[in-house]
Amino acid sequence: MKPELPNPQCPGCGSSAVLVPRTAWYRRGGRVLAVDTWSWSCPASCADPFTGVQPFCFVDPPLAHWTDDQARVLWLERFEEAMPPSERGKRATPRRTVRVPILLTTEEAARLDTLRGDLPRGEYVRKMLKIAG
């Protein structure tokens, strides 16, 4: 089933993105669920700014939420229980539940990657928030 969502623009060229099929994987403990879903693709064949792969494919927040909702339904059908919460990043600190999508220019992304060193991008941003706070 295709989601009924507005087509976002490709961040590279501004063309209206189109849906293409993909598989998303949800792992909870020892169980794994493959979900046939979608991603947005640039119809102008822009290259991924990080890998150079064409066409550029991405998932925006509305599509990510739609896919998560589909996964919860399929998990319940397959395992006959509600999908457990993700344990990714499980720590003594409060659970992270708020997604913050951000688009950067190529130059901004390169600067972020230089500043973060070996840290993942999200971890670096969280570190900067602690310093600024």
Instruction: Summarize pLDDT for 68-103 with one digit per residue, the tens.
Output: 999 999 999 999 999 998 877 666 667 778 888 888
Q: What is the pLDDT of residue 102?
A: 86
Model's pTM, two decimal places? 0.65
Sequence spans of domains, the chain: 1-88, 102-133
Angle between helices 106-116 and 121-132 (to 10 degrees): 80
The secondary structure of residue 92, as a DSSP letter, is S
Mean pLDDT of the chain: 89
Any residues with CB less than 8 A from the CB of 75 and at least 6 apart, and which?
26, 28, 33, 81, 82, 83
Q: What are phi and psi of 35, to 5 degrees?
A: -120, 120
